[in-house]
Each structure stands twice: as C-alpha cells, then as structure tokens.
Amino acid sequence: MGYLEGTCPKCGEKTREQCNAWGYGSPIRFCTRCKQEYLDQRFREVAIQGFDPKSTSPVYYIKAMILCLAVTLAAGGWMYYTLHFRQYWNTMTLALLIVGAIGTIGCIVLALWVGLGFAGKENARYLAESEKRLRDPLYVQKLQSYGYVIPAQYLAGMGTANDGTQEE
C-alpha cells in the first residue's frame, strides 16, 4: 500500500489517501474538509480504463533489471579498477554500486511477482471491486458526467446511452 497526495480542487485542502501501488480505484473522491465531490484522474477505474501495463507484464521490470545490472557492473568494474590500480575509491561509485544492486534485486522480485501471477490475482480483485462500483447506476451517471465513456455492459438496464443522453 502507498499514498497519493494531492489538493482538493474545490477548497485547496491538502489530501493524502491510502491506495494500491497502481492507483486502482474510484476516481471520484470526496474532500474531508469541504465535503464536496471531485474527480481525481490519478485513480484508475480498471473495468473502464484497463490495467497499467506494468502490473500485467514482467517485460517492464526485466528491462529495468537489465539497466540496473548494467549500472551495477559498470560501477563494480570502476570500483575494482580504482581500488586495484589506483589505490583509492569514490563514494559516488560506491553509491551507484549499492543503488544498482538494490534496483536489480527489486526488479527481479517485481518481474517474478508479475510473471508468476501474484499481480494477476490482485488485479482480479481490483477488477471485481471496479465492476461492483459500476453496477450502481448513480455511480455510472457520475462517471459519465465527468466524461467517462462507459462500456455497454455497465449501461444495461439504465436507460441511458453512452453519451449521457436518454435512450428512447
């Protein structure tokens, strides 16, 4: 879990909301100070907008791992060279070596987490929560008023067209 910090567009109150790593959830928020509703597009209604590609494919993390590994190897090689042949070391090189190694390990863990299906299980839960919200006709109407194009399956039985006008 993480937090998204922002500002209420109605009253300027600073907000801090707990959220998942991807910002999956309702984009309709309520200010605790002014009690007004507003749209926060940093949140993603996954049944409408889909999942962030980073939560469905390990390729992103594999590419990042390769980059971090390259930084680690370059910093390690330079550290070896300066220690062995010049008898000194540089704190910046040491920092790059440490950060690169941590980044490499982190990317491996995330690639495995996504690749082995753990992220998919979480995504299924987020999708179910999103679909549950979209069964509420008032919620769907609010999303439409904010400009969201609602898939037909969530409009069934509402008597509204996708552009927000009443169907005949």
Could you list the pLDDT tens digit for every one of the 168 residues in the chain? Answer: 688 898 999 999 998 888 888 889 999 999 989 999 999 999 999 999 999 999 999 999 999 999 999 999 999 999 999 999 999 988 999 999 999 999 999 999 999 999 999 999 999 999 999 999 999 999 999 999 999 999 999 887 665 545 444 443
Structural domain for 35, as ranges: 1-44
Which whole-number Å values give the CA distances from 77 to 98, 101, 104, 125, 131, in the listed order? 13, 13, 16, 45, 52
| Residue 5 included in any domain | yes
Residue 150 DSSP class: P
What residues does 121 pair with on adjacent strands? none
Number of domains in the chain: 1
Q: Say if 21 falls within a structural domain.
A: yes
Is 8 inside any structural domain?
yes
| Tally of CB atoms within 10 A around 66 | 12
Is residue 23 domain-resident? Answer: yes
